[in-house]
Structures are given as structure tokens and as C-alpha cells.
Amino acid sequence: MNLQSHREVDPVLFEMYVHRLVSLSEEGRIALQKVCASPIVVQGGECMSAFYAADGTTIHTASGHLRFAAGCEDAVKAVLAAYSENPGIYDGDQFYLNDPYVASMHVYDQMVVKPIFHDSRLVAWTASMTHTADTGGILRGGSTEIFHEGVRSSGIKLVERGVLRKDIFNILTEQCRDPNYVGLDLKSRIAANNVCARGFLRLVEKYGIEFIKAANRKLIADSEAMARARLKSLPDGVWCSVVHASVTNVRNGEAKPIRVVCTMTKRADAITFDFDGSSGQNEDAGNLTLVGSWGQLFVALSSQLFWNIPWNGGMAKPVSMSIPRGTFLNCRYPAACGDAPALGGSLTAAASECIAKMLYAAGLEEDVNASWYGSGGAGESSNNGGPGFFYGGHNQHGVPVGQGLYDMHGSGFGAAPYRDGVSTGGHMNNPSVGISDIENIELQYPLVYLSRNHLIDSGGFGKYRGGQGLQRIIMVYGTDDLTVNYSPYHGIPGGWGLFGGYPMGVGGHKLVVGPRDLKDKLRESRYPVAYSDVRNWGNVIAPKLPPLQRLKIPEFFLMADPVGVGSGYGDPLDRAPELVLRDIVNFAVSAQWAAKVHGVVVTGDPPRLCEKETEELRAAIRARRLKEARAVGGGTAPGRANPDKSGR
Amino acid sequence: MRCCKCAHVFGPASENYKQGAVCRVVELDHWLDFPLPNGAPFLAQFHEYFCPGCATQIAVETHCPVLEAQAEPVWDIRLDLDEGALEASDQSLDEAAFGERMAAG
């Protein structure tokens, strides 16, 4: 930390400047969402605006997608390294970039970065990013090489000295299925950058460029100092997490389990994350580049460990990451990366477990959460089994669509050592997410929402319950040309419970249902609203498709889609019976699972606690645990649960 | 490392505390009420770890037998302890002293 630079900065002016910078970033993000029309951005909030120093170091990232912030720093540095001389970087330029081998995670995460000049000198950068689902490549789920995934650029000058280059704009849009949508996304990023740059220059005018530079140095240095102080206050040690996921075996179309192994070492004021032991790279799109993995780690760092430290490049300085080349977290070119975010969640989850246990060891219970990435058998992400959420085809107006619907942003949060997790709280990726606006979706896409509500029994069981996720039942309407990405079911839970909590509840799998007599029932205003009931409305469609093939969904077919949940904390038998009763009354937990996992017995309508039966059932469950379990030490094989489902 | 409920000794802090626990494997198609929609087997199972003294569930791990032939428990927490603390943890604590310490919070 440079003491001299701090002496240059008036502390009151510094605070005013920082607050203004934060507001400017928010203005940029809002500009993105106002200009854009994509539901992913406008409703889902998959966007970001941020500021970077002249050398590309992040000065401040706003709320907005956290891994996008890390990605844009890499993008700015890449443009500086590659294009400073040819074609050169000038006032009024803006560069487009979406190559995951250079910055961010996959080609759908698209950045535009803008240099900010003052008195003809480069003084800073601003950048904006959105998830843009259409790149003209194979529809999601089918790629095996990066070349299949459509438009990809490691940096191209989209705006030249303030003038939009029509030739470049056309190149980037005309290769896509919906050039209007892609074009508007591009323009929204340009607009956001213009808003941010103008605002930044007003600050330069108000405070002077030397103050701005010193303040930016201080902001970055302060974050580093705060991050190091935070680390120094935590116990030294090694923590380890193993999280599993699944991809598709491209040779036979079957599910292929993979795993993330994270070993986190904290010594003094530095911390390392080593992912040695993680699975090798995959032949489908289930891969992350090294920069993509860093973005996912940044999500865990900013939301959990350094949540109250200004998020910028300084915060990251005490952190190092090591991932063997050739693992799916550091794939070799030209591996496909389309599913990087879905699998990257497993990296974030593994790092989060290590961080949570370190914080718990430090006694910081208020900062501890169980996993925010819990999922049932099929979970929330696009390749966790069954239909995903990336739809393609034509909508009811005959317009081609290639979009994702972000109800997964209604995921539950992990439980804490002293309270339940928040239900439908959001998503760890992004503090300012939203979920799909049903009216807008039904206007633009051939989908009708029949229901969307909390899913009973979904939150991870524990002394404190993980937050419930939402579920939706959607009917295809107005088209017979709709497909969705589809992957084999595998039954591997996502996330992790903490100290005896379960990673997930028993909410359910993603389903496609071919309906029986649905049109007749609709005429009588009858339709499925409860996930538990949807199978009664027709036949579950779960074909074994050729590898990577998308699933066609005919008109009037139903999709039932539960999203991610929070994982649980502590032994479910330690949950206060009164809380379990409240769960039953509020439809968070069913009476069946209240008995099965919490050992709580209720009777009557409205339900009442049966205290004596509860005490007896809990004693029986504990006795059964000890009867069926085996000692771990000494090489004895673990015991197995009796498949008798009663009295668990 | 002791159970904070019943004082069962899992083992010294220099080793994986789960080695002093008991473990039960739960097949997910038994635990859940419903099979996978395509009838395929669940590729994962839960390994539930309990305190042998009071049967409190202290950890639930997810394992994929296809990936991990040996069901070794994950050694998830290894605090750096100085030599004095390690020596102290290797010795059995007096029960009364432990009870006093727990009561003091």
C-alpha cells in the first residue's frame, strides 16, 4: 500500500467519489437493461457495468453479474496487449470480445470495452457485458468444439472514434438467427459504456484527473489491505471439498459423472485454491477455460469471503488459483465451452464449502451459509438431466428464437448456523438478478405458464432448512417448432450440506409430459399447478436421444421445471419440532418428509404436533442410524441403509 | 476432536475426525420417493456420518461409486495447530474439564 498516495487523497472527497462511482456503475447497468430487449438481460439481470484502471485492473464492479466483472478485466487487458499498436486504441473506440479462451466463460457472455481518455491520454476503461443467447452456432447442447459455438472474437473494434462501424456490426449480427436481438444487445452495451464514460469524465472535471488516479489507486490498495486483514484474522489451515456433476458421453449419449476437487489453503494473509484431482476435460460443451474458472471463483470470493470489501482487482491480490491443464476446469483449445456456467457452479460450490467451513472455524457464524447450489436429481442448470432451459425454434409469430428463460434465478439460498435459508432468494452469480416476467415471456415465446410457485420439500433438510427453489409448469402453445437442450438423467445432487445438513430436499426432476386430453381439460379451466401432480396429466417423456441431440417439444406438451435450492445446516433431527410444524403449515415440508427426515409426527387438520410420538420416532431413527452404520476407521466398509422407507 | 453434544472422542486433531465416526451409505433411489424419469440408476449415493456416541448426523457426503471406487471420507477441515495444541488434543481430556469448558461456551 502506498502511503504517499493516501496522503494525496482527501478522505471526505474520496468517499464522495467512490459513492458516485458506484452510482455510475448502476446507471450503466440500468442503461443496459433499458436499451436491451432480451429477457435474459431485462428480466434475468444477466448483465454488468464496471470501471477499470488504464492498465485494466478492476477499479470497481457494480452489482450485476459477478463473473462478468472478472471477465471484463481479462478483456481489457487482452485488448491492451493485442491491439495497442494495430489497430490502435483511440478516444471514442469500443471493442467487442467474446472468446472464452481470452476472457469470461463462453461465447454467449459478450463484452464491449471502452477506453476513457482525458486530455488525449488513456486514464481508465469502462466495460459492459450481457449474456446473449444467439451466436449463430449449433443450438445449445450440441457442440463438441469451440468452432461449433458460433460467432467468436478475441477483440474487434466495433466503434471507431465514436462512430459505429456498420461492417463490423453486420458481421456480428448477420451470422445469428435473430440479428435484431443480437444487434440490440450490442447497442445496449455501447449505450451503457457511453453513459459510464460520460459520467466518469464529469467526475474528472469535478475532482481533477490527479485526484481520480490517486483515488482509484487507493480504492484498489484499500481492497487489497482489507482482504489481507480479513484473511489474517481467520484461522490457518487446509479445507477440502468434493462436488459432483454430470456431462454427456458423446459416444453413447449416457450420463458421465465428473467431479470438482477443491483444496483451499489459508496461511497468514494469503489464500490458494487448488483444483488438482478434478475430472479431465469433456468431449461435449462441459468445459471451462482457466479464465472462466477464475470468474467462477470470483463469485465465491466476492459473495462470501470478501462480501463487505469493495470488489475490485485489489481484493483478488491475496488469492491464487491452481488448476491442472487438461482438466475440465482448464480445458485445452479447441474444447467446447457452452455449458461452462452450468458446470462452473460446481467450482463455485466447492470453493464456497471450503470458505464456509473456514468462516465457521473463525466463529463468524453470521457469514456462514450452506451451499446455494443445491439441486435435486436433475437440478437447476442446463445439463443436470432432462430438459434444460435453452429453447430454440420459432415462436407463435413465426420469428426464430434461441433463448433461455431464467427462472433459475429463483433459487433457494443455503441455511445458516442460526436460521433457515432464504427461499427463492436469487442466485449467487448476481446480487441483482430477476426471474422471468411471465407476461413478457408469453408475448415473445410460444410458452404459457400454468403455474410458478415454491416447491414443497425442495430445500435441503437440516436443523436449519435450505431455502426452497421455485418450480414452474409451462405449456408449449402456438408453435410446433420448439426444441430444448436435453441431457441424460443422472441423479447426482448438486451442492453440499453443512455439518449434517443435506445438499437438497426431494423436490423433483425436470420433466417433459405428453398430456392426455389436456385441450378438453383446458376448456374446463383445468390444468396442472402442483409439481407433485403433473405426472398425472400425461406420460413422462424421457427418451434416450442420440448424443447431444435436442428434444422436440410439440404443442400442448408440458415442461415441469424445478430450480436450484439451498442446502441444509445441521442434523435434521435437531430441528425444533415447532419449526417443522410451521414448515408443514407453510407448505415448505410435507407431513411425510417431516416424519421421515425430521422424525416429527403431526396429526389433524390443521396439523398439531404429537410430542410423544415425535420423541419416540426420533429415538427410533437414531437407533437405526447406529444399527445400520459401520465404523469408518480401520478399513471397515460403511454400513448400508435398509431400503425400508418407513421409520427412517 | 470431540462431539460437542456427548463428548465422544473422534480422534486427534491431526487426523480426519470422520475416521472416528460411523458411516451409513444411502442409495438415492431408496431415499427419494421417485425414480429417475428414464428409469436409469442414480449415479450418486449419500454417505451419512454419525457420532457413535449420540447418533447425531455430523456430515453428509455425496459420492459417485463410478468415480470413487474407495469410499474414503473427505478430510474437509485441517486447522493449522501449533505443536502445543496438537499435543493437548492428542491427550484425552478430563471429562469434568470438558464439561466445564462446554458450559462456559
Three state DSSP letters for A625-646: HHHHCEECCCCCCCEECCCCCC
Asked whether the beta carbons of residue A491 and residue B43 sit closer than 8 angstroms, the reply is: yes
Give the residue with greater pLDDT, B34 vs A469.
A469
CB nearest to A236's CB, from B55, B59, B80 = B80
Q: Dump pLDDT digits (tens) for A260-272.
A: 999 999 999 999 9
Whether the predicted pLDDT of A81 surpasses 60: yes
For residues A367 and A359, give the distance between their C-alpha atoms in angstroms, rounded to a whole number. Answer: 7
In this predicted model, what pLDDT tens digit does every residue of B22-61 receive, in sequence order? 999 999 988 887 788 988 889 999 999 999 999 999 999 9
Which of A647, A637, A569 has the alpha carbon at shortest distance from A614? A647
Instruction: Using the predicted structure, report yes or no on whether residue A84 has a pLDDT greater than 50.
Output: yes
Q: Region A257-261: what's the mean pLDDT?
A: 95
How many CA atoms, within 13 angstroms, populate the side-chain half-sphere of residue B88?
7
Question: Cα A258 to the chain's mean position, in Å?
Answer: 19
* Residues B40, A489: C-beta atoms closer than 8 Å: yes
- Sequence length of chain B is 105
What sign for the dihedral angle of Cα A64, A375, A630, A463? positive
The C-alpha cell at B35 is: 425414480
Band (B97; pLDDT cuts 50, 70, 90): low
- pLDDT reported for residue A321: 98
Q: Which residues of A touch B74 (CB under 8 A)?
A: 240-242
Q: What is the pLDDT of residues A294-304, one digit of tens each?
A: 999 999 999 99
**CB contacts, 8 Å: B89 with chain A:** none
Contact between chains at B47 and A638 (C-beta distance less than 8 A) = yes
Do residue B25 and residue A641 have CB atoms under 8 angstroms apart? yes
The distance of A574 to chain B (nearest Cα, Å) reads: 8
pLDDT band at A438 (very low <50, low <70, confident <90, very high): very high
Mean pLDDT of chain A: 91
The verdict on a CB contact (< 8 Å) between A361 and B28 is no
- Between A229 and B88, where is the model more confident? A229
Whether the predicted pLDDT of B101 surpasses 70:
no
Residue A237: DSSP 8-state? E
- Prediction pTM value: 0.93
Residues of B in contact with A633 (CB under 8 A): 11, 19-20
Scanning the structure block, which residue is given the C-alpha cell 385441450?
A: A519
Evaluate if residue A589 carries a pLDDT over 90: yes
Strand-pairing partners, residue A113, are: A95, A127
Average pLDDT over residues A451-478: 94
Evaluate the omega torsion of the peptide bond into residue A515 and state whether it is cis, within 30 degrees of 0.
Answer: no
> Which candidate, A132, A83, A129, A136, places its Cα nearest to that of A104?
A129
Select the highest-mean-pLDDT range: A391-400, A615-624, A635-644.
A615-624
Kindly determine whether residue A353 and residue B54, on different chains, have CB atoms separated by under 8 Å.
no
Q: Left if phi > 0, otherwise alpha if psi is -120 to 50, otherwise beta: which for A184?
A: alpha
Is A242–B36 a contact, with Cβ atoms under 8 angstroms apart? no
Neighbours of A274 (CB within 10 A): 18
Q: What is the pLDDT of residue A1?
A: 40
Enter the DSSP assignment of A600: -
Identify whether the C-beta of residue A381 lies closer than 8 Å to the C-beta of residue A332: no
pLDDT bin (cut points 50, 70, 90) of residue B103 is low
- The pLDDT tens digits of the residues spanning A506-561 come to 878 889 999 999 999 999 999 999 998 999 999 999 988 888 888 999 999 999 98
In the predicted model, is pLDDT for residue A312 greater than 70?
yes
In one letter, which amino acid is B12? P
Find the CB nearest B62 among A501, A503, A633: A503
Contacts of A598 (CB under 8 A, 6+ apart): A461, A572, A573, A575, A577, A580, A589
User: Could B62 and A573 be called an inter-chain contact, meaning their C-beta atoms sit closer than 8 Å?
Assistant: no
Q: Looking at the partner chain, which of B40, B50, B59 has a beta carbon nearest the beta carbon of A626?
A: B50
Residue length of chain A: 648
Instruction: Tell me the nearest-neighbour CA distance from B88 into chain A, angstroms.
Output: 18
- Maximum separation of any 2 CA atoms in chain A, in Å: 80
Task: Mark out the alpha helices in A362-388 (DSSP H runs).
Answer: none
pLDDT of the residue at A3? 42
Q: Is the pLDDT of residue B69 over 90?
A: no
Indicate the residue of B37, B42, B66 with minimum beta-carbon distance to A542: B37
